Structure 1
Amino acid sequence: MRTAWLSEFLFLGLWVGLAALSWLLFDGAFGWWLASAFAVTSLRHIRQMQRLEGWLRSGRHSQPPQSWGVWGEVFEHYYRLQRRYTKRKKRLARVIREFRESTAAMPDGTLVLDTDWRITWFNNAAVRLLGLAGNRDLGQPVTSLLRAPAFEQYMREADFTRAVDVASPIRLGHLLAVRVVPYGRGQYLLLVRDITRMQRLQNMRRDFVANASHELRSPLTVLGGYLENLADDDSIPEVWAGPLAEMQAQCGRMTSLVNDLLELSRLETDAPGEPDEQPVPVPQMIRRIVGEAEAQSDGSRTIDVGIDDSLGLAGIERELYSAFSNLVFNAVRYTEAGGRIQVDWFCDADGSARFRVTDDGIGIEARHLPFVTQRFYRVDPSRSRSHGGTGLGLAIVKHVLQRHDGRLTMQSEPGEGSEFCCEFPRQRVRSLRPESARA
């Protein structure tokens, strides 16, 4: 670059020198000769700008004009920028092409949305699942093409951490899982998957469990009745006392398992309760649960309670009783004799209600915590069975809380104890009159 500028100054100096020489040889006004020198230099620059403009206007497809000095450097820099831009453009075009080819090959429907939820692109699977039609649907709001109240509420709330299930707009009886994934600046991917087969399998499993559990209830009741009569019959030899007691215990365990399966099946199929239901007298219910837990532990464990008598909850009482009792009875079951259990029902600072059960029992390793709400998951299978657990208690708790807009949080350390907390949103909280809380 220094050489280019040096050549420009030398060129200008050459013309100024010629002007001075002409003034000395031919006399006349020096200013006119100097103006002529600057005019020649300006004409050169104008000519080079004209060549640059012509090359840019032609689309820069040919080689840049050849020149020397600063203009040669300018032409060369423009040419390098052009090549760099062309390479970047080809790279971006290749990335976009690969993205479209990969998404077009996906079995799930994929739509690209802008900030106004308008469709800017979609793949072939979206055509098959949503019935989109070529360019006609490009630029249309996705809410006008997928008309479902659940989907419209999902888009209004903009909580894209989960998917929403909607009925297929083109195939009767089919169910679609729709999820929005934000990316870039104000852009979104809308993913659509057909979950009809999965839903049917889940329904078949749920119906089978419910029907099988229902059919088992009557035989177990009959068996339990006969075993009780045999155990009370004095004519039965003493040698049968042990086996009969074991059969009664196993029959009772089977009955508990069937009851829990039926309860879990009902929770999965029934419609959830509405927030505007009559308030549940939670303080009274908790005291009843604690009384049953104390009877179950035979006074060998200390159970302390902290209850806000003015705090109620909108929901279904039998479901809340099932969830709360499972947590309290689990604390009794997995706390050794002489241990302490704390049961609290209180209102948090943000207005939400919390039911918390804390114990100093055997605790749970951290690796088990994400799975303890799954059906039949057991941290210690032998201990769970010996204590009469069915492996369904926390699964029932999870489903009850989902139906009441709540969530379950857990903290535990092996040998230190556990804390289970049910959190209910503010809109579920109801105020109880003192007399209703003491009833």
Structure 2
Amino acid sequence: MSSPWRSEFSFIFLALLVGAFLGKVLNSFVIALWFCLLAYLARHLFYANRLLVWLHSGRSGQPPQGDGVWEEIYYLIFRLRRRNKRRKKQLIRMLERFRTATAALPDATVVLGPRDEIDWFNEAAERLLGLRRGDIGQQIGNLLRYPKFSHYMQNADYRSTVSIPSPLADNIQLEIRIVPYGEDLRLLVAQDVTQLRFMERVRSDFVANVSHELRTPLTVLKGYLETLSNADKPMSESYLKVFRRMEEQTIRMESLVDGLLSLTRLESAAHQVVQKRVDVPAMLKNICNEAELLTEERPTIELVLETDADLLGAEQELHSAFSNLILNAVKYTPPAGRVVVRWRDDGKGTRLDVEDTGPGIAQHHIPRLTERFYRVAVDGCKNKGGSGLGLAIVKHALSRHGAELKIMSALGRGSCFSCCFPEERVVRGASQVDAKLAQGL
């Protein structure tokens, strides 16, 4: 038995002896027992009141004096309070270090509460978002009044980001990301991407300008080469071979310029998607028919239309995306293989699957396939003449329609490129067109 309880039982034993003595003196053991119980209860009430006064005082000094089990209770509470005090100081130091580190960040950082109210922000938030100390407790939506930001907060899809101008200067572009943490808490991080956007615009303008400037000399060069190749005067076979090679490279260069211009147009924010109903089944039939006329040595092309649903979007962009996928599959599939083009409804929208029985693609290449100019060397598929821009065009065209490109492939087992369109883009009847347009698509 521990020492506190030994002392406590000693006190109880002493009280019983006193009670027995009083009972013999008063000749009533019942009265003596009640007297002992009241005395024992009064002792506990006295020490409990002393504990309550000590806790209410908030003093962290030595605990009050006691005996028996109360001495141990006082000591344990004192030790617990001292430990909590040390832990509190440690947490305060950690919090101060966190705030100091966060304040030094160049990105604006804002802590949001459960109702989107501002709990804390760093100095960069004052400089980029225009927040002031008096704004603590205000809802962030009342201070950043931008429709894109309000829509972003309402959707609560924090996997993406949103770009808005700074409230202090329209020429400063901010990219905002929200990171949920804790219980109903979120961290808003706003990064100044003005220089990045400027460099992207410079790159896009440079590519567009160079592409436009190249078209004229390429057209002239192509015309002269065709004239020389078709001249009436006989020409030696060596010269004719040189002219044909020059014409092939000119055509390839022209295709590259057209691809760059298409990418520039797709990436341009000013270029809006024209909303109209696109007859996808008819478009796929035409693309497959064109693919069959490319060459005699081609794989079997099978078109499977499991739904007659159409899409709402830009016909030219969708045609470019679909034709790139289908022609790529035909190009890289051996003549003995097969290409299956399947248009179907997957319950969450519509989906175009382009499957081939080609050589397949290694897994480490798949994440980079949609990068511009990224090409994969495929065994047995040489001199295909691709520019490396086709899948980049597909990705941007689908992104502008809210769709997603999924790629599944394995070496020796072929590939499957899937275009997944959301339900809001699907049109299954004439009555749906006006309804979809009314929703703002």
Give the TM-score band, short-chain normalised. over 0.9
1:237 matched residue in structure 2: 236
- CA displacement 1:241-271 (0-9 Å, x = unmatched): 2111111110010000000000110111143
Three-state SS of the structure 2 residue aligned to 1:132 is coil
Q: Tell me if structure 1 keeps the 8 A contact 2:329–2:356.
A: yes
Cα offset for 1:33?
4.3
2:271 matched residue in structure 1: 271
CA 118–237 in structure 1, closer or farther in 2 if over 3 Å, else same = same
Q: Among all aligned residue pairs of Structure 1 and Structure 2, give the percentage whose two residues are the same amino acid.
A: 44
- Please tell me the residue identity of whatever aligns with 1:347: D
Three-state SS of the structure 2 residue aligned to 1:296 is coil
Cα offset for 1:363?
1.0
1:399 matched residue in structure 2: 396
Distance 2:36 2:304 in 1: 101
- Please tell me the residue identity of whatever aligns with 2:21: L
1:8 matched residue in structure 2: 8
TM-score, scaled to structure 1: 0.92
- Please tell me the residue identity of whatever aligns with 2:280: V
**How many aligned residue pairs are there?**
428
Cα offset for 1:30?
4.3
- CA displacement 1:400-436 (0-9 Å, x = unmatched): 0011111101111112211101111111112368xxx
Distance 1:303 1:78 in 2: 81
Q: Kindly indicate whether residue 370 of structure 2 is the aligned counterpart of residue 370 of structure 1.
A: no
Q: Kindly indicate whether residue 354 of structure 2 is the aligned counterpart of residue 357 of structure 1.
A: yes
Three-state SS of the structure 2 residue aligned to 1:353 is strand
- CA displacement 1:269-292 (0-9 Å, x = unmatched): 143426xx3211222221221122
Q: Tell me if structure 2 keeps the 8 A contact 1:409–1:420.
A: yes
Distance 2:89 2:382 in 1: 65
Q: Tell me if structure 1 keeps the 8 A contact 2:110–2:187.
A: yes
Distance 2:379 2:31 in 1: 112
Q: Tell me if structure 2 keeps the 8 A contact 1:166–1:177.
A: yes
Three-state SS of the structure 2 residue aligned to 1:386 is coil
Three-state SS of the structure 2 residue aligned to 1:244 is helix
- Please tell me the residue identity of whatever aligns with 1:112: V
- Please tell me the residue identity of whatever aligns with 2:228: L
Q: Which moved more, 1:83-92 or 1:410-419?
A: 83-92
1:437 matched residue in structure 2: none
- Please tell me the residue identity of whatever aligns with 2:377: D
- Please tell me the residue identity of whatever aligns with 2:121: F
Cα offset for 1:47?
2.8
Q: Tell me if structure 1 keeps the 8 A contact 2:360–2:412.
A: yes
- CA displacement 1:9-41 (0-9 Å, x = unmatched): 3222223323433555x5654444444444443
Distance 1:142 1:13 in 2: 68
Distance 2:174 2:267 in 1: 19
Of the candidates 208, 216, 219, which is equivalent to residue 217 of structure 2?
219
Of the candidates 188, 191, 199, which is equivalent to residue 189 of structure 2?
191
- Please tell me the residue identity of whatever aligns with 2:7: S
Three-state SS of the structure 2 residue aligned to 1:377 is coil
Q: Tell me if structure 2 keeps the 8 A contact 1:23–1:29.
A: yes
1:332 matched residue in structure 2: 330
CA RMSD, 1 decimal: 2.0
Q: Tell me if structure 1 keeps the 8 A contact 2:60–2:81.
A: no
- Would you identify which runs of 4 or more consecutive aligned residues in structure 1 move more than 6 Å? 381-385
Distance 2:217 2:26 in 1: 134
Runs of 5+ in structure 1 lacking a partner?
434-439
CA 23–406 in structure 1, closer or farther in 2 if over 3 Å, else same = closer
Q: Tell me if structure 1 keeps the 8 A contact 2:23–2:31.
A: no
1:436 matched residue in structure 2: none
Distance 2:382 2:256 in 1: 11
1:343 matched residue in structure 2: 341
- CA displacement 1:137-189 (0-9 Å, x = unmatched): 00001011111110000011110001100111111222110111100110000
- Please tell me the residue identity of whatever aligns with 1:328: I
Cα offset for 1:379?
1.4
Distance 1:15 1:262 in 2: 101
Q: Kindly indicate whether residue 413 of structure 2 is the aligned counterpart of residue 419 of structure 1.
A: no
Q: Tell me if structure 2 keeps the 8 A contact 1:303–1:342.
A: yes
Cα offset for 1:74?
1.1
Q: Which moved more, 1:383-392 or 1:82-91?
A: 383-392
Runs of 5+ in structure 2 lacking a partner?
431-441
Q: Tell me if structure 1 keeps the 8 A contact 2:263–2:393.
A: yes
Q: Tell me if structure 2 keeps the 8 A contact 1:354–1:424.
A: yes
Q: Tell me if structure 2 keeps the 8 A contact 1:361–1:416.
A: yes
Distance 1:253 1:385 in 2: 15
1:64 matched residue in structure 2: 63
Distance 1:388 1:431 in 2: 38
Distance 2:258 2:225 in 1: 19
Q: Kindly indicate whether residue 160 of structure 2 is the aligned counterpart of residue 162 of structure 1.
A: yes
Distance 2:287 2:407 in 1: 20
Of the candidates 377, 380, 385, which is equivalent to residue 377 of structure 2?
380
CA 30–358 in structure 1, closer or farther in 2 if over 3 Å, else same = closer
TM-score, scaled to structure 2: 0.92
CA 39–338 in structure 1, closer or farther in 2 if over 3 Å, else same = closer
